[in-house]
């Protein structure tokens, strides 16, 4: 976990039940879920295997070790897990060096949260090396702290990353709004006891208790997040 903004006690969400906003990265703030799949397809093609497009729904949003392990098992490819994760990280980095498109509404939402001094965390299953590269485009000043998938013993769909983020911010998970794009991420946030805004990227997500589904980040603003706590 990396803290990027000091003096957490000065960043508050007074006058509301909302204490903090916790944001996923890939597919939520940056339009990169397709990048990961493209890299996976290319690597396995070089190994002599074709990935079934239906597997994309299995690997999206999960920790890299789980996704990579699934693809090795599904294809029978002759490659070690550690070697594959290294190739995946490098292939992804090469892509974001050329283009890193943000999701519609992401820039405006981050600016609004920062302007209103809402404690905000970036919580991703991606490794630290990837998060730090992406932060150069998102702006590290937008986040009080960041949590990477390789910094927790159990990453999404376990609640650990969101519990760590809430603890680092000194807030109650039940008074945090989480924005996620995958079933895996939603499961992690709900297991942590957070209110969830789901913005589905690859696979559909159904509404549920303490879960609101929207079509785009353009529908999400601070007033909307405050309303989740009131409800």
Positions marked active-site: 24, 26
Alpha-carbon dihedral 38, 40, 43, 48, rounded to 10 degrees: -110
The answer to whether 177 and 21 have CB atoms below 8 angstroms apart is: yes
Q: Cβ atoms within 10 A of the Cβ of 55, count? A: 17
User: SS3 for 30?
Assistant: strand
Query: In this structure, what are the phi and psi dihedrals at residue 220, rounded to the nearest 5 degrees?
Result: -110, 125
d(CA 180, CA 189): 8
Query: In this structure, what are the phi and psi dihedrals at residue 181, rounded to the nearest 5 degrees?
Result: -120, -5
Of 129, 119, 194, which is closest to residue 156 (Cα–Cα)? 194
The answer to whether 224 and 230 have CB atoms below 8 angstroms apart is: no
């Amino acid at each position: 976990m990396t803290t990027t903004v000091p003096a957490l006690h000065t960043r508050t969400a007074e006058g509301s039940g909302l204490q903090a906003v916790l944001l996923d990265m890939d597919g939520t703030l940056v339009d990169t879920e397709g990048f990961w799949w493209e890299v996976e397809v290319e690597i396995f093609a070089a190994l002599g295997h074709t990935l079934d497009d239906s597997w994309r729904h299995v690997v999206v949003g999960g920790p890299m070790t789980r996704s990579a392990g699934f693809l090795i098992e599904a294809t029978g490819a002759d490659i070690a897990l550690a070697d594959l994760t290294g190739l995946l990280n490098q292939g992804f980095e090469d892509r974001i060096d050329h283009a890193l498109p943000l999701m519609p509404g992401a820039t405006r939402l981050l600016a609004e949260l920062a302007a209103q001094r809402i404690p905000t965390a970036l919580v991703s299953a991606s490794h630290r090396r990837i998060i730090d590269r992406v932060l150069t485009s998102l702006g590290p000043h937008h986040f009080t702290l960041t949590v990477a998938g390789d910094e927790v013993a159990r990453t999404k769909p376990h609640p650990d990353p969101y519990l760590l983020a809430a603890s680092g911010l000194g807030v109650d998970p039940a008074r945090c709004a989480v924005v996620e794009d995958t079933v895996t991420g939603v499961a992690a946030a709900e297991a942590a006891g957070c209110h969830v805004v789901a913005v589905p990227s690859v696979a559909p997500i159904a509404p549920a208790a303490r879960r609101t589904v929207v079509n785009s980040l353009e529908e999400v603003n601070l007033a909307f997040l405050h309303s989740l706590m009131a409800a």
